[in-house]
Chains A and B, each alone.
Chain A
């Protein structure tokens, strides 16, 4: 793996929270298998990925440029292949910004619930090249780094695995509650739309009849004034 450049503004985000730093360093030091999703980026273009993160959930992300041919991942990377990244929160705050780097990482705790957008863009090259980059973005329960928890607590690997399963089950349980709540909201919305449509239908009939009545009355008085009736 090429030497990582950590001189990005991402390190500013890590200092306030020691836990975040521990997680990020564990992620970097642990020999992880290839877990990331790989995207292609043409020079001069932008590629955006968004993820919905709940409030107070931790999100960690790692990205690095790889060779353009997925079958030869160890090809030499030219120095001019660089990407820039900006991660924005649903309200528009920039959570992470890196310009013209070959790799980087970020971690933050979501203060707002909603869609977080990570946008990559590449500077223009002449001739235009297609760069590949790997992006690993995890939030919520998958952001928790268990190997560091294991090292700290000296727990058995099997126990760790069962702990992970328990955490997954708890997450599923919470997610079901969330889905149920959303479905209830939507049912409420549908019911309100239904009643509003019924009310508007009656109003439409009322307007029709009243406009017809107004017409008749107005024309009657008009013709009586003109002494035709």
Chain B
């Protein structure tokens, strides 16, 4: 390997360290049966955190909504994290090894559900890395920790935003249904009353014979 100047090495080390904490965006997928998303975790010991929220479609009774299952599989094939029957949750775990992790959402019922999810992989350079590379400034560890703290705030915000969207969806659906059912109730009421009157009139009509009553 060619001898690099210390400044260039510092730049490369900084770039490698600081870019290791990646940021994704909250994405939505529609899960009909199973949807798997793969995310690359570069180092062992990285904290993988994330959240997902199921945005309801038209659900009439909340007990009908079964939730979806999330299974996180490590590159070795072991299940690292499982969540069953949740309509939205946060998760966090420490990656036991580096590699490609698989996040699978499974919908046990046939109705397609839209899931909004966010996954973040965070890496904080520890003392071992510091000792290996003398150009790595300890302040970079602090900056990485700050960045991770801010990322957790952003992650929480995305979770809250997704839940708020679902809440609003439920509220609007409730409002529409209340209006519809109330109008239907009035119409049914008036129709029942009209039928009552018609029936009583028929009982007393001449061709039936009112002395039967």
Q: Do A and B bind each other?
A: yes
Say yes or no: A71-B168 contact (C-beta < 8 A), given A37-B24, A179-B160, A222-B201.
no
Q: A219 touching B200 by the CB < 8 A rule?
A: yes
The number of chain B residues with a CB under 8 A from chain A is: 62
Q: A161 touching B37 by the CB < 8 A rule?
A: no
Q: A175 touching B157 by the CB < 8 A rule?
A: yes
A157 to B: closest C-beta gap in Å: 5
Q: How far is the CA of A78 from the CA of B174 in the complex (A)?
A: 51
Q: How far is the CA of A219 from the CA of B25 in the complex (A)?
A: 69
B148 to A: closest C-beta gap in Å: 11
Chain B residue nearest in CB terms to A175: B157
Q: Which of A125-165 touch B at CB < 8 Å?
A: 132, 137-140, 142, 147, 157-158, 161-162, 164-165
Q: B22 touching A168 by the CB < 8 A rule?
A: no
- For chains A and B in complex, what number of residue pairs have CB atoms within 8 angstroms? 151
- Whether, in the assembled complex, B161 has its beta carbon less than 8 Å from a beta carbon of chain A, the answer is yes
Q: A189 touching B175 by the CB < 8 A rule?
A: yes
Q: How far is the CA of A142 from the CA of B154 in the complex (A)?
A: 12
Q: Which of B102, B171, B193 contacts A189 (CB 8 A)?
A: B171
- Whether, in the assembled complex, B81 has its beta carbon less than 8 Å from a beta carbon of chain A, the answer is no
Chain A residue nearest in CB terms to B196: A215
Q: B15 touching A115 by the CB < 8 A rule?
A: no
Q: Which of B40, B119, B200 contacts A34 (CB 8 A)?
A: B40
Q: Which of B27, B150, B175, B204 contacts A228 (CB 8 A)?
A: B204
Chain A residue nearest in CB terms to B168: A186
Q: How far is the CA of A198 from the CA of B13 in the complex (A)?
A: 65
14 contacts between A and B (CB under 8 A): A32-B19, A34-B40, A48-B30, A52-B26, A70-B38, A70-B102, A147-B15, A157-B11, A161-B14, A176-B157, A186-B167, A190-B171, A204-B186, A207-B186
| B contacts, CB < 8 Å to A | 10-11, 14-15, 18-20, 22-30, 36-40, 42, 75, 99-100, 102, 114, 119, 137, 139-140, 143, 146-147, 150-151, 153-154, 157, 160-161, 164, 167-168, 171-172, 174-175, 178-179, 182, 185-186, 189-190, 193, 196-197, 200-201, 204, 210
The 10 closest A-B pairs by CB, nearest first: A38-B38, A70-B100, A34-B40, A50-B28, A157-B14, A211-B193, A193-B175, A200-B182, A142-B23, A168-B150
